[in-house]
Amino acid sequence: MRILVIGANGQLGSDIVKVLHSKEVVPLTHKDIEIAEEESVKEAIRIHNPQVVISTAAYHKVIDCERNELKSFEVNAIGAKNLANACQGKDAVLVYISTDYVFDGEKKTPYLESDPPGPLNTYGISKLAGEYYIRYIWPKHFIIRTSGLYGSARCRAKGGNFINLMFRLAQER
């Protein structure tokens, strides 16, 4: 089974590639595919012909999303739409990594899949829009809403992973 991992240089993507090392994995980075560009996505899916596409790619720095709403929606919403359309064209399962930012954070118990979303910022709204595109376009999908990733890989965009951030904040006190 050929598995395409988009965002393979990122914190989650690089760990997924490591875990799936024994499988037929094709890691793609931003240099290999631009998910906001429909033709780039179609071409990557056509060339690699995957049975599964795991998309960890996102424009996820919350402050930057507020400053550049257009880019946030191009990557997180239109990118998801492009992936869903391309996966549909190849009958590939799409695994889309979303976020808990689709919720408002007010609930005192863990969120359920059936809970209504209520994003409070551009990042959450753009990721929710991506989820809606995927649900509308292609039924062969899984949407995974993550929260506060941590692991051995660093998040270059945020200057480290969650543990690195906590150490850095503790040293600043």
Instruction: Please write the tens of the pLDDT for every residue from 14-37.
Output: 889 998 987 799 999 999 999 999
Cβ atoms < 10 Å from Cβ of 32: 16
Query: Shortest CA distance to 83 belongs to which of 121, 122, 48?
Result: 48
pLDDT at 27: 94
Q: What proportion of the chain, given as a percentage, has pLDDT over 90?
A: 69
Q: Which of 59, 101, 123, 133 is catalytic?
A: 123
pLDDT at 62: 86
Look up the domain containing 154 and give its range: 2-172
Indicate if 123 belongs to the active site. Answer: yes
Rg over alpha carbons for the chain, rounded to the nearest Å, is 16
pTM above 0.75, yes or no: yes
**Contact at 8 Å (CB) between 58 and 30?**
no
Residues 6+ positions from 134 with CB-CB distance below 8 Å:
80, 81, 83, 84, 94, 96, 141, 143
Residue ranges of the chain with per-residue pLDDT less than 70: 150-167
Domain CATH number, residue 75: 3.40.50.720
Q: For the chain, percent helix, then strand, then coil, each to nearest 5?
A: 45, 15, 40
Number of domains in the chain: 1
pLDDT at 23: 76
pLDDT at 170: 75
pLDDT at 160: 59
